[in-house]
Amino acid sequence: MCKLILVRHGESVWNKENRFTGWTDVDLSEKGEQEARRAGELIRKHDLLFDVAFSSVLKRAIRTLHLLEESADRMWVPEIHNWRLNERHYGALQGLNKAETAKKYGEEQVHIWRRSFDVTPPLLEPDDPRGAVYEDKYKNVDPAVLPLGESLALTITRVIPFWQDYIAPCLISGNTVLVVAHGNSLRALIKYLDGISDEDIVGLEIPTGVPQVYELDAQLRPKKRYYLK
Ligand SMILES: O=C(O)[C@H](O)COP(=O)(O)O
């Protein structure tokens, strides 16, 4: 049996301010740092000796990983950071306050942007200086695959190939694997692993900084998924 630990980053400064974040590289809030340390303590308490760790290239996930590793006393574990685990790209909504946007466009429209399976948010203009194509951290990524806005369906199309090519082989080789990512990149992964329908995924919410564990069989079929307490 293999074990996979999934953690959504701790609360970020923009989670606290209720702003659409997506690929904006904001840091953890103080509460987020505490959540990350607590996640490491829980992992340690449950003796989940992860051998390798994956995260997105966004600092709220990387800092969560580092704080978690420190409190779990596993700072030596090899880490792989990849853009394919990034949050869903929120397009032109990035930076806007969610409540103010709901006042302007209506609660229903904002719910569709946030939770529908295949509706893409308004896209960033290709020459918008916030575009990933202008960021150093994506300089080795083919610009053609860098999004200007993504639905959950589009997010799945880049998370699952990363799972298949990197994370799954690591588990199959017998490693306990930790993945620190984001609300929607983790929803993408859980949808795939648990075979959740396009309709039912709308109801899946993932709290910040709480580790959840999958126990998987040799074919990586989930046997159990539970949050650590
Ligand atoms: O990118 C964001 O704003 C959040 O991390 C996730 O947002 P959501 O709860 O609207 O999916």
The residue among 185, 194, 198, 203 whose CA lies nearest residue 225 is 194
Token pair listed for 99: 């409540």
Cα of 174 vs centre of ligand 1, distance in Å, is: 33
Given ligand 1 and candidates 12, 18, 90, 154, which is best to mutate, with the most ligand atoms within 8 Å of its CB? 90
Percent of the chain's residues with pLDDT above 90: 100
Q: What local confidence, expressed as pLDDT, does residue 156 receive?
A: 98
Ligand 1, atom nearest to 20 Cα: 3
Cα of 94 vs centre of ligand 1, distance in Å, is: 10
The residues that bridge with 5 in the sheet, in sequence order, are 178, 213
Q: How confident is the model at residue 3 (pLDDT cuts 50, 70, 90)?
A: very high
User: Residue 225 is inside which H or E element, if any?
Assistant: strand 222-227
Q: What local confidence, expressed as pLDDT, does residue 81 receive?
A: 98
Q: Which amino acid is at 55?
A: S
> Structural domain boundaries of the chain?
2-227
Output the CA–CA distances (angstroms, integers) from residue 44 to 67, 71, 196, 226, in the order listed.
13, 8, 30, 16
C-beta 183 within 6 A of ligand 1: yes
CATH architecture of 2-227: 3-Layer(aba) Sandwich (3.40)
Q: What is the pLDDT of residues 82-126, one digit of tens each?
A: 999 999 999 999 999 999 999 999 999 999 999 999 999 999 999
Q: What local confidence, expressed as pLDDT, does residue 225 receive?
A: 97
C-beta 74 within 6 A of ligand 1: no
Q: What local confidence, expressed as pLDDT, does residue 25 receive?
A: 98
> DSSP readout, 177-191?
EEEEE-HHHHHHHHH
> DSSP readout, 5-25?
EEEEPPPBHHHHTTB--TT--
Ligand 1, atom nearest to 115 Cα: 11
Average pLDDT, the chain: 97
Cα of 183 vs centre of ligand 1, distance in Å, is: 6
As a whole number, mean pLDDT of residues 49-72 equals 98
As a whole number, mean pLDDT of residues 17-37 equals 98
Cα of 1 vs centre of ligand 1, distance in Å, is: 32
Q: How confident is the model at residue 214 (pLDDT cuts 50, 70, 90)?
A: very high
Number of other residues whose CB lies within 10 A of the CB of residue 95:
14
C-beta 184 within 6 A of ligand 1: yes
What residues are annotated to the active site?
9, 87
DSSP H helical ranges for the chain: 13-16, 30-45, 59-72, 98-105, 107-115, 152-162, 168-172, 183-194
Alpha-carbon distance 51 to 170, whole Å? 9
C-beta 55 within 6 A of ligand 1: no
As a whole number, mean pLDDT of residues 29-45 equals 98
Ligand 1, atom nearest to 24 Cα: 1
| 101 Cβ contact partners less than 8 Å away, ≥ 6 residues apart | 20, 93, 110
ipTM above 0.90, yes or no: yes
Q: What is the pLDDT of residues 137-181, one digit of tens each?
A: 999 999 999 999 999 999 999 999 999 999 999 999 999 999 999
Q: What local confidence, expressed as pLDDT, does residue 93 receive?
A: 98
As a whole number, mean pLDDT of residues 2-26 equals 98
C-beta 11 within 6 A of ligand 1: no
Alpha-carbon distance 163 to 182, whole Å? 15
Q: Which amino acid is at 183?
A: G
Burial class (CB in 10 A: 0-12, 13-18, 19+), 180: buried
As a whole number, mean pLDDT of residues 11-20 equals 98
Output the CA–CA distances (angstroms, integers) from residue 183 to 8, 114, 115, 211, 227, in the order listed.
6, 11, 11, 13, 15
